Structures are given as structure tokens and as C-alpha cells.
Structure 1
Amino acid sequence: MKLEILKAYEVFRKRNPHLKETEAKEEFVKLFNSGKIHVSFEAVECGIHKITVKSLYRWIKLREEGGLAALLPKHSEKGRRKKITREIELFVFEYIKKTGITRGKRVYEAIRYHHSNGKLSTPPPSYQAFMSWYREWKKRNELFILKYTDPDNYRRKLPSYGSIYASYDPEYYGQVLMLDATKADVMCRWKEKQPDGSYIEKEKRLSLSILIDLYSRDIRFALGENENALLVVNNLLRKWILEVGVPEVIVTDNSKIYRSEHLAQVCEALGIKLTHTDSYAPEQKPHVERVFGTIATQLFEVLEGYVGHNVAERKKIESRKKFRDKIFKKKDYFIEVYLTPEEFEKKLSDYVKKRYRKEKHSFGIIEQLILNSPRKPKTIKDERVLDILLSKFERRTLSNKGIRLHNRYYFSKELAEIYYQQGSVPVLVKYDISDISTIYVFDEKGRYLCKAFDHQEAGKRLEEAIKAKKVFKKKEKELEKLIKQNQKLSATPYEIATSIYSFEADHKVIPFDRRPQEELETETVREAKKIVKETEETRKLIEETAKDTFFTSPLKRAKALFRKIEKGEAITKEDYAFLKAYVESEEFRKYSRMEVFGRTFKNLKSIEELDIKLA
């Protein structure tokens, strides 16, 4: 074809000798492209219908330098695309999954690099051929690319296959719960006391943990600086069990906190089935995710310190604040004062009580759904029993000094007897979360043995020992005055948002259900009840015998009676009964070791050992 065009040009040049070389070529190309210069039919079939002056120059030069062979195609596959093999396609999948980079040029460079290193056996196609294939490939694999480059958008575009709610199929209120946590979109500010007595100011978003019931969508929440197993168990789960009852199933994600040994122990002790969803799959627990969204849009947006739901929104809020400070005077807008954690918790609690439970949702009114539940979950009525069940098992070894736990030694008469009989043996221990001076000791099979004590820590709660008590100051008086002076609305945005009259709701007052609940009965619950019963019997016996109103405590009465016995004075039958019960109590053992009653009574085990005169 090229040769036929060059022959036609030579004929044209001979017929037009008056034209210059460049003019002749331009005129020939113009006539050829317009179809006025004819070549052989075979040449037309080859497919060249238009040419350029540059191409004509190049063909003439090639013929002069290399002859007819120079006009032939360089290879037989010119104009065809090389096939993208399965090996290259799998490499593209792997590259995007591991790096998150989807730009075609970067992917193509990676293919060429790995081929040159011998990692890919298939030679890469041309860049144009690869990009043509890659654009089509990206359209076919949109969800795969989104999964590793934009997870949030990926979850929104996932197809729905059935109802997660139906898979758990709750039959009554409190049966199946979902658990999750997120950072609240509200900035809090407070001052925290340090061990040396100084205070440091903290400003951060708190972690919001939520338990939601799948039957009614009722919730309980807990706030903390960071999410941890102690917050979930001792605060959130404890609150739910005391107010509602013991669930049968708890569904949560696969994070480290919900895989903790403490949570697993508690669920096993209470007979709760703990179910974990797949990693990075919030679509498998949509109800708790929906609650986070509802609270964020209905409450957080009208609270002081709101920082936005995402990075883009936070930038807009910051920009708005800067513009406001430049243009307006402070008296023209509300002064923003960050909430303390206590204030934030109260506002969140008010929202749940005043709006969330009373509002008419797509699934109904929560309070009405609770009342319509066919039955209630089993409960644990004794709070002390629950405290024992919620505490964590720790593995320790009994020594001649007792049991060491967190740099404290715990000891009791029963432990001494075990040590004398068996020596250093491994045991399981549990804290009393309401009093860290007491631990409960079990054997390796989990059978209850006895209690042990550390008198130096008597009366302290576990939370106080783990973290210093947080003390917060009141708002600055000047800011309070400014807020009052600039207050022009009759109601704040928060009051409007939580008002029952600002949204569609059933205005009937619905009383909470007072139906009786069946109490949970398991082996671990019975063991915990046994411990509480022993403690209560001793306490009641001491209180019943302490009839003399002159003494303000059993300890003072015992000290006065021991002084009488030392002097050889007679005591009454009531005092004798009191002393007999008191000597067998843990309080006496604790204080006698400290020689509170004197050295004479340090090793006293029974009141019969003394020579007592009765009046």
C-alpha cells in the first residue's frame, strides 16, 4: 500500500514540476485524503485512506535508505493488543490489596518492575494496551477496590442478603444484646488530680460504649477515656443486669477488648453466649451502628464542644468559628464552654429518658415494646452476689505470707490451715469490686475455699485503687455571666432537641413494667450467694447482740469488754453472747493481729479460752 502511494506521488510530481518540494507534498496529501488521487484496488483494501505530510516524508526516506523491505511492518502483531494473562490480573489484585494504590501508571510500573526481577513470567503489554484493559477491569471490580481504599463507602454499597436481626430472632426483652463502642463527636474538658496532688487539664473525646436490646432497641451506655474490659463489665454490663436482667446472648465485634479473658469469664459464669462478628464487618451489627448515628444527629450536634462526624465536617466547623470570631462580637453569639464528663453523661442520660425511649421510631415506641414483651429475663437480686460474679479470676500461688496480688498480701485463718496441710499450692482469686481489702479464694477447679483480707486497704472500691478519683472544678464565673447576658432564646438547642413536643411521639404516659422476674440459678451464682450469706450472718449476729446504745460500733464495745475481763470484772450474759460471736468474726481476726485489743488477746481463737465472770 505504501509503495502504491509513493508511485502515485512520483507521477503527481512529474505532472507538476513548477511546485516546490514541500508544496508538492502538501498538495498531494490534500488530494489523496479527499479521494481525488486513485491507487489500485488491492492498495485500497489494505486500509490506508488518509495520510499526513510527515508520513509521506518518512516513507520516502525509508525507501531511499532501505529499499522496499524498509516499508514492510516491523512485526506481524502490530496493531494488536497483547492479552492480559491471569497471572498479571492476580498481581493487580494483590498490589491494590496490599498498597491501596489504584492509579494505573503506578500499577503498570509495579508489573514491569516485578517482571524484570523475575517475579512475573508474563511480559507486560504496552502501556496503552494495559490502561485500556485496566479501565474496564476497575469497573468490573469496583467493590473489591473500595474494600481496600474506602472501607466506609464499601460498606454502604454492599448488597444486603437477608436480615441480621432475624438471624438472632429475639423472643423477649433483654434476651439478645449487641455491644459496641465509638468515640463521641463531643469534646470534653476537665482537670484530673495526679498522685502528687497537682492537677492536669485534659481535653479529649470520650469513648461511648453501648448495649442495645434487639427486641425493643432499649440501650444502656457507659463513658470513659478509653474503652476497656473493666468499663464494659463493671459499669455497662453490671448496669444492664441490675436494671433489666441476665441476657442469653451478647453479640459484639472481634476487637481485642471483647476477646478479653475477663469478659469471657463473666459470660461463662452467668451462662451468657458471647458471639463475635467478623473483623471489620459493622454491617453484621447494624442495630448498634444505627443507634450511634441517631444519637450523633439528634443530640451531639446541639451540644457544646461538638466537633463534627468526620474530618470534612470538622474543618467546616473550625472555619466557621474563625470567621465568627473575626466578623461578630462575642455578645452576638453563644460562648462555647466544653462539657465535663459528668455533664456530658447527664445530658446523654436525659436524652435517652426524655426522647429516645418515648419517640415513635420505625419499629415502634421502645417503652411500649418493653411492656409488650412476653416475659422478662432472669435476674440477680443481690448486688453483692453480682459483684463477685463480675470480678476477674487471677491465678496465684499460696505462700507462707498469704496470697500476693497487686503488691498486697492477703491472709486469713483458713488460708493458714490450707498452707499447713498442702504447702504452696496454686489457687484462683477474685477481687471484691466494692472493697479491695477482701479477696475470694477458689481452688483450681473453681470451688470456693475462703476469704482473705488486707486490712490496710479496708473500705476502698476497686475503681479508686486503679485510678485516682477525678475532681472537676465549676465553670468560670465570667463565662457563666457572659452566657446569661447573651441568652436571648427561651430554650437552648438541647432543650428543644430533647423536648417531647419537638417530634412526633405518643404523649401517653407509659408506666414501666412491674412484672416479677425469675432469679438466675447456676452453680457459680449459688457459690456467690453462699459467700454473701456467711458474711451477712456474722454481721447480723454482731448487730443483734450489740444492744447497748452507749457503744457506737462493735469494735468499741469489744474493746471495753476485754478491758473489763483483764481487770477481772464480771460481764452480763448479753455481753458474753456478743463477745462469742465477735471473736469468730473476720473483723476480730483482723484487728487482733494488729494488737488493737492488747497482746493478751492476740492469738485468741475462742471465748472459752478465757476465765470470764458472769454477773
Structure 2
Amino acid sequence: MPMARGASWTVACVEAGITASKAAVYRWRKAFERSGIEGLVDRRVLNGRAGVSLEIRTLARAAWRQCPNGKSGSVYAVLKEKCAAAGVVVPSYGWLTDFIRYEIPADEKIVRDDGMVEWRRQAAPRHTVERADVANELWQCDDTPLDIWLRAPNRDGSWEVVQPFATAIIDVHSRACMAVGVWTRTPNAWSVALTLRKAILPKASRFAPFRGVPQRFAMDNGKNYRSEAVSRTLALLNIVAEYCALRSPNQKPEVERLLRTMQENLLPRFPGYKKAHTISREAAAKQVLSLLTIEQLRAEIDRWVEQYNDTHHEGISKSLDFTPRQLWEHTVVPREVEPDLLNRLLLQSDTRVVTSKGVKLTLRGGEPAEFWSPALVEKFGLTVLLLFNPEDLASVLVADAATGLPICEAYRMGIDGARYGQHDIVQAQQGRAAQLAGVADRLHAYHEEAERGDRLSPERTKELRAFLEEEHRLDAEELLTALPPHSPRLALTAGLTTGDTLAHVRSADPSTAPAPNDDEGGDDDVESKPRTAPRPRPAKRSVSAPPAQEVGEEADMLARLIRLQSGR
């Protein structure tokens, strides 16, 4: 026996297979020391008052199930009828209340009182299964209304009380919170898309390395998750969509627990917490100036997320002191995406024409807003594509409408803390005008330089000029032999310029020479002398003499060459 080895009573009972509480074990020990083996005998059996039989217990359980949401009194009335019909003794009312309290399991009470749906939510068996082996393998997403009141500005400058909502994304393997989006309206497809964009892109803080594209994305079965925009985005990013069954939060317990932790640990710190003395909307409206704005709550949640990711999480390991950030960094599988593609997929878009004051966009309440950047000055009149977050219109992304290539980020004008003002627009426009004037001057100088560069060198020009003059002299000599003896001769002497030579060539052309009696003198002119026979052509060339038209063309070509060389 274990007692013979000097083991304790507790160890001895465990080794003997006795399942009892520590108090019962010590009570049995004292009874054995006081009365021996007889002290361990149930005295109710010795006195003829044995425990309630199994038949009565079965009747009591049946009576309890027959009275859904019934109190102990109604159950006891049904039990008495059943015991009378079965011919057994009716137990006491106190026994029935103890039986209901201690012997009926809690999950059976939930099924009887609230139904199977509530039983699945509260009492269904939970099986811990490691559904992801590395970080960024499986993300879970869910949204919930936050238990806090916020204040939002109206167009007339007053404040109104609003109900915020949150959309959260968590990495299942590392339990790292990838992103939390906060909105002042019911979550829709765009809130899911914007939160996914925030989770994928690198974070502003260097202490938050969480980014990348997951392999799978688990989410609810609501219409905001089933929308075409979300489905198309996940497909283009090669993310497998996993939809949970209807009303089955246990299929994504990690993100459910994250939202509950944020509700219980963060929100009670701020004014307007709903569960603090059950603050209603009317009560919050009386202290509206003390409530947080949506921007302040977003900043507080971002700080809380950084602390959450650097705190030990029991869901990772109860023994090892791992934080979600450490486990994510050690097991992440990098899978990046181009920010431009992500912006095209996950931001709202609209086309606008660039004006002298930038681009205009109408806000949700119908208020017009202007966005400007220095890069838009040279895009005046161009149709551009605006990519923007409807919940944060402090700036918009501007891209080329035809190619989709990014141009700049334009910032909103006319608000407190605006990055640019009207004087920035004036300075940019003046600088653009000066730049265009300088470009015109540089283009003119470039054309002049190019024209000078295209001219021939002086040596080559001399060679070409001598060659053409020699060719022209030979052709002129051939032409002289074909002219009448009393017609003007071509003079190709050293004293004549090339222009004079061309003039003589043209005057020697019979097709261009004036006809007899066609000058201003008319018939009063002196009779022309009779023509003599032409001289024989010299035999220095075997080719025939060029016609007068070809001589004129060569003369024109030489004239153009001379004008080109002289720059006129």
C-alpha cells in the first residue's frame, strides 16, 4: 500500500484511483483514526435512510426538462405527479433544489433555457487546433461596436454623440494584432478593405514590423465581407478567402478575444464608457465636450496595439515568455505587394480635371474640398485619378488616369494646420511661368546650335564648291558651242563671282531668254543680225550636251548650297 511507504493521504488516494476532494480525504482520515473501518461506513445505510434512488433521480431530471425556464417550485409540482404515478416516495423540496444546482450540468441548463445556439456559443467543446504554422499564413478579421460614446462635429460647428465601430485583423500563429480600424458608421466593404490595406503596408513606427500579405483570410459571412470589392481584392492579391459559418464566433476565436480584451482593458479609461453607470446617449450628450473624437480614439488604440504586441500572450505559450512581435519576427514568411497596386485595389477612386487650384472633391456631407500639391502645377487641364480614404480626407493620392502611374499626394486646403496655402499656389505658378519662358529660350538656342552643327566644315565646303564650279564650267562651255555666234557668251573668269556665273547661265538658257521683238521697245528695235551656223561641239565628252532645263536645275542647286553655306 502507498501508506506503508510513508506517502501522504493525497498521494495515496491518487495512486489508489480515488477521486475526491482534499477536504473529503482529510475527513475520511479523521473518521478512520477515530472509529477505524466503521467510521468509513455510510450511516444512512445503517439507519435505513439510504440515498435517493436512481429511479427518483431520473424522474427529477425528466421533470426539470419538462419545465423550460421554470423555477424549482414548478419543477417540484411536476415531480410529485410523476412520483405518484410511479408509486415512489416524493423527495423533499430541498433535495430537488440541491439536485438542480449541483447534479445537472451547466451546458444542459443552457440548452434548456437558451437553446442550442447559445449552447454552441458558450458550452460547446473547444478543440485547440494549431491552424497556422508560420506568421502571415492565416489572418482573422472581425468587427464590433465599441462600448464608448464619441463626439463628432456638425456642419454648423456643434457636436453630436456618435457610436464608433472597430474592425480588427490578427495573425493566428503569433497572435499579433496587424491592424485596427475605427469608424463612426456601420462597417461596410470599404472599412474591411481599408483595414486590410493598413495591415499589409509597413507601419509608421519602427517598432511595429508587422506587414505583408497573408496566405488565407478568415472572416464573417456578412454582406460587407461577401461584397464584390473584397472578393476581387483578395483574388487579385492571391489570398484564399475563408468564410465562417453563420453565428459561429468559435471558428475565429483569436480575433474575438482580441476585441474583447480591447473593450475591457482600454475603453474603461476614457470618458463616455457605456458600462460606467450605464451611460446613455442622452447622458453623454450633456457632457459632449469631455468625450473623445474619432482621431483621438484612433491614436489611443494604435498605442494600445503596440503595447499588446509587446506583452506576453498565453495563447502562444504559458511557459515561454514570448511576445507576439517576437514570434512574428521569428516565423514570418515575407510576401510583399506593390503599394501602388494596393492603393488601386483598396482605396476609393474617382476622376477629376486639374484646375489652377488643384483638384476638387465633394465630402460625404456635401461639403466641397480642394486638394493641391506643387506637382499639380504642370498637370493643369489633365484628367487624373484620385485615390482616397473616405474616412480620412486630409490628403488624396493623385495618379495618371490613362496609365495609373502615381503623380503625387495632394493635401487638403483651407483647414487648420493645412500644409499648403494660397501663397504657395501663387509662388508655384510664377515659378512654372518662368520655367516655361526659360524652356522657350533654350529651345531657340538649341535649334540654332543644331543648324550650325549640320553645316559642312570649311574644307569640305571648298572642295564641294570647286567641284560644282568645275562641273558648271564644263557644262557652260558645251552650252556655248550650241549657241549662235552673236548670242551672249558665258564668262567664267576669275573676276566673276559664282552669282554672276549663275546669272550668265540663266541668260544663256534659250527657254528663259526673251523672244525677239518682246521687249519694251517693240517693233522700233534694230533688226537682229542673221544667225550663223553653230560651231561644232568639242569631242572631249562622249555624252550629249545637257539640255537647258538640267543646267538650270544645277544652277538652282548651287544657289541653294551657297545660301546654306552662307547662313542666309
Tell me the TM-score normalized by structure 2: 0.44
Q: Which has the higher contact order (CA 8 A, sep 6+)?
A: 1
Tell me the TM-score normalized by structure 1: 0.41
Q: Which has the larger radius of gyration?
A: 2
